[in-house]
Structure 1
Amino acid sequence: MNSVSSSGDPHAAADALRDPRFRAYLLGRLSSQLITRMQAVVVGWHIYEISGDPVALGYVGLAMFIPMVLFGLIIGDWADRVSRSFLLTVSSLILTGASAAFLGLSGAGVAQVWPYLAATALFGVGAAFNRVAVPALLPQILPPERLSAGIAWASSMGQFALIAGPAVAGLLLLLGQQVAYGAITAVSLFAALIWWRMQVPAALPGPAGGGISTLERVIEGIRFVWRKPLLLGAIALDLFAVLLGGVVALLPVYAKDILHVGPAGLGMLRAAPALGAVLMALALARRPLQRRAGPLFLVAVAVHGLGTLVFGLSENLLLSCGALAIAGAADMVSVVVRTTVVQLATPDAMQGRVNAVNQVVVSASNELGDFRAGVMGGLIGVVPAVVTGCLAILGVTALGAWLWPPLRRLDRMEDAQADAAATTGTAKG
């Protein structure tokens, strides 16, 4: 890896944006994430129109989740052995094929759910490639001293897509489902062209595989994370924060039965965390974290829990939106620190596998977090479910600070790179 200066350099953000490959990366990342956000809205609306059954929407989420669990770690191994920009090209082409399948099914007037679920599973495979290869590609584009600012810019693209994607999808649906599916197909092809033009070489030159099997390489990536308290702590705390503090599945209940604000209020509640995250990401891009990264990470996880706790107890829409925005901003701090630590503490030869472990965990925590919230809400009530989850986050944060001292003591982001230097020789690739 390259030599390091200071990730806290306020000029790092401007320097990163001067890099044409990084600008192309941001455009590709924005396009890819817009595709997934738009598709989720269009497919959800379409399938509910066909079936009239909320359970069918659960199957849509399951169809997106299973490919990540089944193939994510294997894709991570591929991301260490072939060009990551090539994998992203393949990803975008798979997404294009899935979107074209939706367009064809819609145009043919198919009214059964299962063909759309099959196309959703194919879309999930493309999304799995994307989720693993996109973060693994960034360290090949930016040097370590610009990485934190680059991650903040990239994260802001994701949050912008989270806000803009559903809005654009809703407007396209007014023109018809086929128009929406056609637009998503076109954006997917555009993303494929961006990634193909980047032509970033493979992280590992020479013969692929290093004489060991795919399973051994995947296990090596998992073992690497397990043996690194800094990595394990950052990933595990993020897992529990999302698992215990997930409230997205309960927002319709709050909008209808607690806040009494209807669909318009639900839209505000859904947008509030993303708005807070976008503002924080832009702030971190302009002024990257300079010192005490580990303690700030722990504080951010705790503030995320506290913000969600205030939301859980609130009966006022503005207070609820403000609390969710603060929770989203705090979550963005933890995301930037976690992602930077993962990428700096991981040798280039293992970026794909370690990012795959990270993404599988994140994917699982999102899905299981919604499941936990729904089940607990049914068992003990919606407000107690949110409150107990948030209190558990605070306890887990304190426990994590005690279990993983390297995370608690992390000062500068670049200090994480020492871990990578100490273990580069163990990364066989």
Structure 2
Amino acid sequence: MAAIATTGSPLRQALRVREYRLLLGTQLAVGLTQPLLFFTQGWYVTTAAPDGKAVIYLGALGASRGVAFLSYVLFGGAFADRFPRRRVLIVSQFAALAMTVAIGALLLVPSVRDGEGWLLPLMIVLFATFGLIQGQDGPTRTSMLRDVVPEALLSSALSLFFMIVSAALLVAAPFSGWSLEHLGVGSTYLISAVGPAAVLACAMAMTSAGSAADPDARRESVWENLRGGLEVLAEQPAVRWTVLLTWLSTAAGLSVMGILIGAWVKDVLHLGAAGWGMLALFWGIGSVLSTTYLMTRPSLQHRGWLFLGSCFGLGVAVLGFSLVRAIPIAFAFNALAGVSFMVMNTVGIGIVQAIVPNRVLGRVTGLLLLGGGLMQVTGLLVGLLAAAIGIERTYPIAALVIISVSMLVLLRQRPLRDLD
């Protein structure tokens, strides 16, 4: 890690680091293009599914991505510690570029675009590659922050790192809706290939993260590497409950606000693809506001209370969203959900980064990010529940699960609650 000037705010000092700026470039590329993949996959399934079956197919989409993510993310975290993180990032993004172009080309074929016969299930299986890429990309790039930024600057650097994604969503969300309506699913999917290409360009220009964070890990099996990450959870109750509550809140909250949202937008709010894009825009606005606040703080205090409060706030936001039908109020609750989720995510990763040694950081980050995969697998169960009892009853149930568990952890887990 290169020496930097020590004048100015922590954020300004971090921005003087060339490697950090390149890492921000990768985050911007992901933030601008991953929503295109997410929205295109969801809208394709929503419109191609048989009448009345959209929630089941959306649940299957989430489950396929989630199974792929869950089956790989722990290995992705181990590889991020076991091998040079820059090299791991380059290899994974080459694979992402190839898969995105191939799937986008398929979506240009009329029979595939319409989801005829067995082609809709086939595309859902192919969309699962999105989960594989996330399973390697998340632990690798998040762990690379420790490789490029001094520890004293990490809090502000981490907040800006996530704020970039939130800000990018302000552009990506409405563009996704416009592109789906005017260019179609195939062209929109192909546009998203710009993302891995840009990440590759930034990664190849980097010089840090060129050696393994844990060189000794290669002398052990990958399974032994994974056990090293689990030992941290066993030894550190604050980290353990940060991970577990992140899993629960993400799985319950985003299974409805992310996986089933296409059906809610179409059938409950009676909006089209552009309306879905605008709804997501408000999530992005909330995320930007929260991360901007966190970014301007030289250091985070009362992190335990902040994390627990954000989990509780996510439940309240989902509950409010489920109870209203007025479009402006629904958009406002979606913005509150964006605020809460981004604070939970940023502060949770900040807790892990502050406590966990760098040599096992990739593995523990992978464990934390398991929530994203659990969310998508839960999406299938939630989709089946929505088909059985109605989507309008399913959303409040998810919200109440988050609220009740957050309160239980707040009352019973002092190591996390008192974490400063």
TM-score by length of 1: 0.82
Amino acid at match of 1:145: A
1:65 offset after TM fit, Å? 2.2
SS in 2 for 1:200: coil
CA contact (8 A) 1:72 1:128 kept: yes
1:388 offset after TM fit, Å? 3.6
Distance 1:47 1:328 in 2: 24
1:28 offset after TM fit, Å? 0.7
User: 1:334-384: per-residue Cα shift (whole Å, max 9, x none)?
Assistant: 2221010111111110011111111123321x2145345434444554444
Distance 1:326 1:272 in 2: 9
Higher mean C-alpha deviation, range 335-344 or range 292-301? 292-301
CA contact (8 A) 2:283 2:339 kept: yes
Aligned to 2:204: 196
CA contact (8 A) 1:95 1:188 kept: yes
Distance 1:203 1:403 in 2: 41
> Residues 241 and 180 of structure 1: is their aligned pair in 2 closer, same or farther, counting only changes over 3 Å?
closer
Aligned to 2:25: 27
Over the aligned positions, Cα root-mean-square deviation in angstroms equals 3.2
Q: Within 5 Å, which residues of 2 pair with 1:117-156?
A: 117=124, 119-156=126-163
Q: Within 5 Å, which residues of 2 pair with 1:232-251?
A: 232-246=240-254, 247-248=256-257, 249-251=259-261
Amino acid at match of 2:132: V
If asked which structure has higher relative contact order (CA below 8 Å, sep 6+), I would say 2
Structure 1: runs of 5 or more not aligned: 2-8, 412-429
Aligned to 1:404: 413
Aligned to 2:83: 82
Distance 1:49 1:374 in 2: 16
Amino acid at match of 2:200: A
Distance 2:11 2:219 in 1: 40
TM-score by length of 2: 0.84
Q: Within 5 Å, which residues of 2 pair with 1:152-231?
A: 152-173=159-180, 174-175=182-183, 179-202=187-210, 204=212, 207-209=215-217, 211-231=219-239
Matched, 1:358 2:356: no
1:176 offset after TM fit, Å? 5.4
Distance 1:306 1:32 in 2: 29
Distance 2:269 2:46 in 1: 25
Distance 1:322 1:206 in 2: 45
Aligned to 2:16: 18
1:194 offset after TM fit, Å? 0.9
Aligned to 1:36: 34
Distance 1:50 1:304 in 2: 31
> Residues 39 and 305 of structure 1: is their aligned pair in 2 closer, same or farther, counting only changes over 3 Å?
closer
Distance 1:15 1:47 in 2: 45
Distance 2:211 2:122 in 1: 38
Distance 1:252 1:172 in 2: 16
SS in 2 for 1:167: helix
Higher mean C-alpha deviation, range 167-176 or range 146-155? 167-176
User: 1:83-109: per-residue Cα shift (whole Å, max 9, x none)?
Assistant: 112111112101111022124435666
SS in 1 for 2:317: helix
> Residues 110 and 363 of structure 1: is their aligned pair in 2 closer, same or farther, counting only changes over 3 Å?
same
Amino acid at match of 1:271: L
Aligned to 1:422: none
SS in 1 for 2:192: helix
Distance 2:373 2:205 in 1: 29
Matched, 1:370 2:379: yes
Matched, 1:307 2:317: yes
Q: Percent identity, aligned pairs only?
A: 24
1:41 offset after TM fit, Å? 3.0
Higher mean C-alpha deviation, range 332-341 or range 255-264? 255-264
How many residues in Structure 1 have an aligned counterpart in Structure 2? 404
Distance 2:111 2:221 in 1: 43
Aligned to 2:4: none
Amino acid at match of 2:33: I
Structure 2: runs of 5 or more not aligned: 2-6, 113-118
CA contact (8 A) 1:295 1:408 kept: yes
Q: Within 5 Å, which residues of 2 pair with 1:221-370?
A: 221-246=229-254, 247-248=256-257, 249-252=259-262, 254-255=264-265, 259=269, 265-364=275-374, 366-370=375-379
Aligned to 1:5: none
SS in 2 for 1:188: helix
CA contact (8 A) 1:83 1:200 kept: no
SS in 1 for 2:250: helix
Distance 1:10 1:392 in 2: 44
CA contact (8 A) 1:251 1:269 kept: no
CA contact (8 A) 1:42 1:180 kept: yes
1:214 offset after TM fit, Å? 1.3
> Residues 306 and 39 of structure 1: is their aligned pair in 2 closer, same or farther, counting only changes over 3 Å?
closer
CA contact (8 A) 1:80 1:352 kept: yes
Higher mean C-alpha deviation, range 134-143 or range 394-403? 394-403
Distance 1:267 1:307 in 2: 19
